[in-house]
């Protein structure tokens, strides 16, 4: 099946030319292309059109879950008849295993898996295994982390046909090999149930149940039924059941893996004994032998992923399998916000290895643990067939990859221009800023101010508050949920000014902001680089009165590049507006509205989440944090009830892919549990 794009919009501005150039580049076999699209120019719509034109299975990589969720909803709206999938980390909470030799502290791995995201991940892999071309997978950097190989997954796909002669017990054994679990009482996702000649399979990647009925040894019917009402939803002549886990293996592979683990354990014990470290030798011996016994008895153990190389049959140092291995050979990769995503991909391997180095050196893990890892950037790069880097400020790497050929998308459908940039002296910059704030506030417009440090942001906010300016600050020490609340309060007019250190957050959509003030703009560095200045200036690009003031005593190269680039864009935008008789129109967007495309509220839940009442059993209204006197006075029974209720809320938030809210509930549970441990009654 081919991609079928559904949209009430038509490409406008320079979207048609961008779509044409990118499509032709892919058809001509260009490996790398760059789409330089300004904020608000409709880059996602352009991507959707290119995907529909080239008709290749596509991976869209985003640098965080929130933006990945936003892209997922938009693409689901554009391609309702095709397979649009979501593949991000399924951890609501994850504390990796670690060892700190300075304090002799070993930290056990701790995690909470989001069942809904696990289902979506399996759905993504199932769509790719099916061999269909019309698949779009929106992923975070999780796509470069290790998983089971495609051959093992394909070998465990169960194919059945109506009228097929198949012994029921053989079918049941196939389900077990595909890691489905028999449960005749409580049929959950990944389970199957047997009732006489009928087998119900709760597929791990779907909300519905597959019902297979036999007549003697012949498959009489294959039906899909609702998991709640058990109403029949449809029937099939043939069907494929995909594995219930991303890591599947056979009995032979397990036996081979155990032999190799035992051999490597002997080598490691000998190594520690040779260097005279009997403590480490004893530690690795006890830990690995315990894991081997668990694998023999149960088929798994805690931290089994550290032995993945043995189960996969890989050589030491060989890269793990990842999501990219499941795509058809002729595929397309799109990296969104590439100036952030590419460095993130590059950093994953180093961070993982640094953590495991201590675990291996101090006898907690075999050296094979190093091979349970994300891909190195070179390995990821070698898997690329064709790629489009998308960014308003592409980095040098992307430009070099595309050999300097850049497809530009500078025109906004609203006719809005890039903001004017004015440079003012840093002397008396705060007094001058105060005057600008008063002018904008009277017009009911908002102001963003960027400083160089967190302390400066806090002190400036305090100064503004003392002068009766409604201001707030935001930086990395402010909790994620609080940041979103502050941003919404800014849009609602509770604040007029938002002060921060690094407000160039990709995806930050604030049409009410008409002024961005950059203090100490001439202090060269990461926060005042050309790309950072351009991204920060773009925060004023959604307002018809948008303006940027850079306070500086000298104009640095970065400032000049930003000013020159902005002038170039404005010139092109003005010319287009004049030729097409377009008058720039102010964006007016409801703060609570979800995206205009798609029929789910997932992104609205992620992006527009607000602090919800905390579920303390003795209160029915919003309360403060766990440090509140009310919580401290709770009995053990009341605290246990509160933990139970908050856990339910966390699971509900996670089910809705409301990651930030789920994280807050998780933190709340940890605080409540800490309080509970101190209670005796």
DSSP string, 87-125: E---EEEEE--EEETTTTEEE--EEEE-HHHHHHHHHHH
Identify whether residues 220 and 178 lie together within a single domain.
Answer: yes
Q: Are 381 and 504 in contact (CB under 8 A)?
A: no
Q: Which of 99, 78, 109 is nearest to 11 (CA)?
A: 78
Q: Are residues 276 and 307 in the same domain?
A: yes
Among the listed residues 641, 637, 632, 615, the one whose alpha carbon sits nearest the alpha carbon of residue 678: 632
Q: Indicate whether 308 and 325 sit together in one domain.
A: no
Question: Does 341 count as an annotated binding residue?
Answer: no
- Give dist(CA 513, CA 437) in Å, integer: 11
Residue 11 neighbours by CB under 8 Å, 6+ apart: 19, 45, 46, 49
Closest by CA position to 410, among listed 21, 30, 39, 7: 39
d(CA 594, CA 111): 30
Residue 596 falls inside a structural domain: no
Is 46 assigned a ligand-binding role in the annotation?
no
- Output the pLDDT for position 623: 36
Same domain, 518 and 463: yes
CATH of the domain at 172: 3.30.2060.10
- Quick one: 568 and 429 in the same domain? yes
- Mapped onto helix, strand or coil, the DSSP state of residue 318 is coil
Give me the residues paired with residue 107 across strands.
Answer: 98
Q: Are 459 and 558 members of one domain? A: yes
| Residue 10 domain flag | no
Q: Which of 171, 174, 175 is nearest to 187 (CA)?
A: 175
DSSP label at residue 404: T
Rounded to whole angstroms, the Cα distance separating 48 from 46 reads 5
Q: How far is CA 411 from the centre of its chain?
A: 28
Q: Are 405 and 36 in contact (CB under 8 A)?
A: no
Position 588 in a domain: no
Please, what sign has the CA dihedral across residues 118, 122, 123, 125? positive
The DSSP secondary-structure symbol of 220 reads E
What contacts 24+ positions apart, CB below 8 Å, involve 223-230?
Answer: 225/200, 227/187, 227/202
Q: Where are the alpha helices (DSSP H) in 538-658?
A: 557-579, 602-607, 629-632, 636-655
DSSP 337-389: THHHHHHHHHHHHHHHHHHHHHHHHTTSS-GGGGGSSBPPHHHHHHH-SSEEE
414 is in an annotated binding site: no
Tokens 């597959």 correspond to 210
Quote the pLDDT of residue 644. 84
Annotated binding residue at 363?
Answer: no
Q: Evaluate whether residue 616 is within a structural domain.
A: yes
Residues 556 and 616 in one domain: no
Which of these three, 364, 383, 409, is where a domain ends? 409
Question: What sign has the CA pseudo-torsion 410, 411, 413, 419?
Answer: positive
Compute CA distances 103 → 99, 283, 380, whole Å: 9, 17, 36
Q: What is the pLDDT of residues 498-535, one digit of tens each?
A: 999 875 555 567 889 999 999 999 998 878 888 889 98
Pick from 338, 337, 306, 514: which is nearest to 419 by CA? 514
CB-based contact 281:265 (threshold 8 Å): no
Token digits for 144?
């470069």
With the CA atoms of 297, 186, 128 and 303 taken in that order, what torsion angle do they form, in degrees rounded to the nearest 10? -30
Domain limits at 203? Answer: 158-241
* Residue 616: per-residue pLDDT: 36
43 has binding-site annotation: yes
Q: Is 252 exposed, middle or buried (0-12, 13-18, 19+ CB in 10 A)?
A: exposed
| 191 and 130 part of one domain | no
Instruction: Answer with the one of 389, 409, 429 that is the final residue of a domain.
Output: 409
Q: Is 659 exposed, middle or buried (0-12, 13-18, 19+ CB in 10 A)?
A: buried
The answer to whether residues 289 and 352 belong to one domain is: no
Parallel, antiparallel, or unpaired: how do β-strands 158-161 and 110-113 relate? unpaired
Last residue of a domain, one of 222, 241, 260: 241
**pTM for the predicted model, two decimal places:** 0.79
Cβ distance 38 to 538 under 8 Å? Answer: yes
CB neighbours of residue 64 within 10 Å: 19
User: Alpha-carbon distance 547 to 424, whole Å?
Assistant: 13
Residue 502 has a pLDDT of 76
Tokens 């970065």, residue? 558
| Same domain, yes or no: 512 and 448 | yes
Give the H or E element holding residue 516. Answer: strand 513-518
The total number of structural domains that make up the chain: 5
Answer whether residue 6 is part of any domain. Answer: no
Note whether residue 606 is domain-resident.
no
Say if 275 falls within a structural domain. yes
The domain spanning residue 49 has which CATH number? 3.40.50.300
Give how far the C-alpha of residue 270 lies from the chain's centroid of Cα atoms, to the nearest Å: 43
| Cβ neighbours of 402 (radius 10 Å) | 22
Q: What is the mean pLDDT of each run of 10 residues along the chain (681 residues)?
A: 92 94 96 92 94 97 86 94 94 85 89 89 96 95 93 94 95 94 92 94 95 95 93 95 91 93 97 96 97 91 92 94 94 95 94 94 96 96 97 93 91 91 93 94 94 92 93 81 80 92 67 93 87 89 92 95 94 92 75 37 40 36 40 71 82 69 80 80 66
Residue 247 lies in a domain: no
pLDDT at 584: 86
| 38 marked ligand binding residue | yes
**Are residues 71 and 200 both part of a single domain?**
no
Examine the domain organization and report whether 456 and 521 are in the same domain.
yes
- Is 42 flagged in the annotation as binding? yes
Any known ligand binding at 346? Answer: no
């Amino acid at each position: 099946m081919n991609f079928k794009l559904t949209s009430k919009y038509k490409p406008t501005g320079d979207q048609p030319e961008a779509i044409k150039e990118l499509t032709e580049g892919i058809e001509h076999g260009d490996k790398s292309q760059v789409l330089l699209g300004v904020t608000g120019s409709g880059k996602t719509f352009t991507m959707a059109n290119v995907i529909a034109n080239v008709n290749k299975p596509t991976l869209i990589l985003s640098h965080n879950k929130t933006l990945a969720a936003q892209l997922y909803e938009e693409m689901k709206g554009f391609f309702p008849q095709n397979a649009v999938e979501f593949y991000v980390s399924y951890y609501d909470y994850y504390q990796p295993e670690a060892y700190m030799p300075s304090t002799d502290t070993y930290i056990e791995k701790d995690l909470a898996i989001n069942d809904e995201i696990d289902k979506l991940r399996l759905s993504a892999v199932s769509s790719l295994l099916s061999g269909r071309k019309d698949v779009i997978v929106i992923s975070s950097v999780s796509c470069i982390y290790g998983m089971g190989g495609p051959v093992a997954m394909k070998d465990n796909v169960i194919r059945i046909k109506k009228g097929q002669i198949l012994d029921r017990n053989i079918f049941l054994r196939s389900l077990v090999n595909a890691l489905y679990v028999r449960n005749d009482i409580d049929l959950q996702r990944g389970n199957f149930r047997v009732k006489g000649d009928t087998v119900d399979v709760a597929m791990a990647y779907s909300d519905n149940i597959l019902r297979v009925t036999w007549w003697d040894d012949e498959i009489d019917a294959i039906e899909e039924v609702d998991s709640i009402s058990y109403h029949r939803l449809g029937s099939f002549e043939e069907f494929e059941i995909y594995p219930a886990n991303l890591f599947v293996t056979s009995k032979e592979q397990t036996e081979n893996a155990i032999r190799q683990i035992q051999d490597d354990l002997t080598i490691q014990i000998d190594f520690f004994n040779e260097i005279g470290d009997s403590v480490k030798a004893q530690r690795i011996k006890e830990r690995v032998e315990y894991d081997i016994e668990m694998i023999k008895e149960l088929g798994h153990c805690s931290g089994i992923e550290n032995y993945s190389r043995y189960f996969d049959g890989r050589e030491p140092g060989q890269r793990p399998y990842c999501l990219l291995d499941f795509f058809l050979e002729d595929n397309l990769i799109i990296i969104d916000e590439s100036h952030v995503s590419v460095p993130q991909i590059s950093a994953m391997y180093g961070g993982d290895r640094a953590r495991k180095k201590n675990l291996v050196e101090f006898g907690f893990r075999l050296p094979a643990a190093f091979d349970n890892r994300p891909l190195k950037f070179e390995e990821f790069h070698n898997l690329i067939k064709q790629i489009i880097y998308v960014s308003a400020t592409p980095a040098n790497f992307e430009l070099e990859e595309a050999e300097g050929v850049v497809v530009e998308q500078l025109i906004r459908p609203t006719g809005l221009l890039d903001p004017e940039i004015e440079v003012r002296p840093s002397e008396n910059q705060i007094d001058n800023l105060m005057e600008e704030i008063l002018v904008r506030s009277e017009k009911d417009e908002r102001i963003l101010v960027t400083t160089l440090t967190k302390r400066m942001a806090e002190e400036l906010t305090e100064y503004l508050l003392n002068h009766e300016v409604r201001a707030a600050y935001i930086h990395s020490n402010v909790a994620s949920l609080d940041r979103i609340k502050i941003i919404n309060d800014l849009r609602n007019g509770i604040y007029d000014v938002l002060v921060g250190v690094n407000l160039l957050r990709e995806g930050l959509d604030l049409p009410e902001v008409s002024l961005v003030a950059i203090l100490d703009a001439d202090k060269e560095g990461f926060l005042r680089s050309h790309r950072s200045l351009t991204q920060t200036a773009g925060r004023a690009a959604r307002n018809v009165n948008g303006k940027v003031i850079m306070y500086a005593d000298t104009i640095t190269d970065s400032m000049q590049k930003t000013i020159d680039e902005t002038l170039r864009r404005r010139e092109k935008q003005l010319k287009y507006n004049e030729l097409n008789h377009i008058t720039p129109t102010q964006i007016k967007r409801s703060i609570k509205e979800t995206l205009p495309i798609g029929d789910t509220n997932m992104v609205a839940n992620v992006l527009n989440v607000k602090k919800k009442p905390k579920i303390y059993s003795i209160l029915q209204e919003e309360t403060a944090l766990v440090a509140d006197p009310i919580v401290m006075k709770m009995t053990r029974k009341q605290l246990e009830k509160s933990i139970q209720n908050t856990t339910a809320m966390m699971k509900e938030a996670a089910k809705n892919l409301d990651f930030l809210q789920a994280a807050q509930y998780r933190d709340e549970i940890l605080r409540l549990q800490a309080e509970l441990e101190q209670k005796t009654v």
